Amino acid sequence: MSEALPASVAAVAAGLRSAGYLPGESTALVSFLAARLGKPILVEGPAGVGKTELAKAMARTLDRPLVRLQCYEGLDEAKALYEWNYRRQLLRIQAEAAGTGWDAVQDDIFGEEFLLARPLMTAIASEEPVVLLVDEIDKTDQEFEAMLLELLSDFQISIPELGRIEARTQPVVLLTSNNSRELTEALKRRCLYLWLDYPELEHELEIVRLHAPDLSEALGRRLVEIVHQIRELDLKKPPSIAESIDWARALLLLGADDIDADTFRETMSIIVKHRTDLDTVAARVGVQLGHGDALPSP
Ligand SMILES: Nc1ncnc2c1ncn2[C@@H]1O[C@H](COP(=O)(O)OP(=O)(O)O)[C@@H](O)[C@H]1O
Ligand SMILES: [Mg+2]
């Protein structure tokens, strides 16, 4: 699909699949609309449901470089946009022959050569179109969000000493959020919204088997059924797709061909990672497996 934007929702779905990502219906639809309308996608949902991976898969299917900004508390413009390479500027000033006027030095040290481009600027300045991933935007503060908003509406950056840098190509932008805080309405208005949740049973089975191809259909189905059952419980942190995949790989390594009570007890810490959750799950699911009861069908 390289370069050209996708022609239909089906084409996006097929493209993502061939890039190793199995999209749900709304994922394919929103990705298509975003690429064609030139709008950013805000992907929200619990951890481990494929938000980051969607951006990576988009980059692969559109055959574009991925530029990633990983957000964290305290992230500022210097780390997200650009900063001057002070060390290099100092060296240049020192190397300058004595008697050179300040004006000449200044023209020199505020050139592009002394600029450190951070991800947002890299995405804007890129000659070839990129996919820009702003990952876990909910970890930053509202000020940062406002700066980002401006950037996303104009696709340009003003550098006082250097002038304006405008986007030459339109990046496909994905923002992800684990929903740890409410994002501003202004940001939401600017974006198409995609809520990614834990997938349906059949969909998750397909994803798990994609990542653990040696897993038998029967064992995979049993695994996903148990994971879905665990998600019904009131846990601090329900297992995500990432954990289902890890569990599948672990069972393969251990040569398990079924998940009986013993296997479950030995391996449950791969999918449940809180002390209290472990107790709940052992009592509710472990006991049930121990009695050899059939799991309730979904
Ligand atoms: N629809 C999907 N198709 C293929 N793999 C998926 C899908 N959803 C999730 N995964 C896999 O699940 C794991 C977790 O995904 P990730 O994108 O890191 O989650 P998040 O960013 O939502 O926390 C990754 O290994 C990813 O490849
Ligand atoms: Mg992520």
pLDDT in tens, 169-188: 989 999 999 999 999 999 99
Q: According to the model, what pLDDT value does residue 295 have?
A: 53
Q: Which of 53, 58, 194 to mutate to test the pocket of ligand 1 (most atoms within 8 A of CB)?
A: 53
The mean predicted confidence, pLDDT, of the chain is 92
Return the closest-CA partner of residue 22 out of 246, 245, 215, 203: 203
How far apart are the C-alpha atoms of 257 and 215, rounded to whole Å? 9
Q: According to the model, what pLDDT value does residue 112 have?
A: 86
Q: According to the model, what pLDDT value does residue 105 have?
A: 78
Q: Is 21 in the pocket of ligand 1 (CB under 6 A)?
A: yes
How far apart are the C-alpha atoms of 78 and 97, rounded to whole Å? 30
Please tell me the number of the ligand nearest to residue 43's CA: 1
Which band of pLDDT confidence, cut at 50, 70 and 90, is reported for residue 107? confident
Q: For 205-216, what is the mean pLDDT?
A: 98
How far apart are the C-alpha atoms of 180 and 182, rounded to whole Å? 7
pLDDT in tens, 50-104: 999 999 999 999 999 999 999 999 999 999 999 999 999 888 888 877 777 777 7
Q: For 102-111, what is the mean pLDDT?
A: 80
Q: According to the model, what pLDDT value does residue 297 have?
A: 47
More confident residue, 105 or 294: 105
Q: Is 22 in the pocket of ligand 1 (CB under 6 A)?
A: yes
Q: According to the model, what pLDDT value does residue 298 have?
A: 45
Return the closest-CA partner of residue 144 out of 82, 71, 85: 71
Q: Which of 241, 244, 245, 249 to mutate to test the pocket of ligand 1 (most atoms within 8 A of CB)?
A: 241
Q: For 214-229, what is the mean pLDDT?
A: 97
Cβ of 72: how many Cβ atoms within 10 Å?
10
Asked whether the predicted pLDDT for residue 1 surpasses 60, the reply is no
3-class SS at 39? coil
Q: According to the model, what pLDDT value does residue 101 have?
A: 75
Q: According to the model, what pLDDT value does residue 288 have?
A: 79
Q: According to the model, what pLDDT value does residue 106 have?
A: 78
| Ligand 2 midpoint to CA 8 (Å) | 26
| Ligand 1 midpoint to CA 23 (Å) | 10
Q: Is 241 in the pocket of ligand 1 (CB under 6 A)?
A: yes
pLDDT more than 70, % of the chain: 96
Please tell me the number of the ligand nearest to residue 207's CA: 1
Atom of ligand 1 nearest to the CA of 135: 21
Q: Is 52 in the pocket of ligand 1 (CB under 6 A)?
A: yes
What count of residues does the chain have? 298
Asked whether the predicted pLDDT for residue 263 surpasses 60, the reply is yes
Q: Is 51 in the pocket of ligand 1 (CB under 6 A)?
A: yes
Side-chain-side CA neighbours of residue 49 (13 Å): 21
Q: Is 47 in the pocket of ligand 1 (CB under 6 A)?
A: yes
User: What letter represents residue 144's amino acid?
Assistant: F
Asked whether the predicted pLDDT for residue 123 surpasses 50, the reply is yes
Atom of ligand 1 nearest to the CA of 46: 22
Q: According to the model, what pLDDT value does residue 2 have?
A: 43
Q: Is 171 in the pocket of ligand 1 (CB under 6 A)?
A: no
Q: According to the model, what pLDDT value does residue 84 have?
A: 93
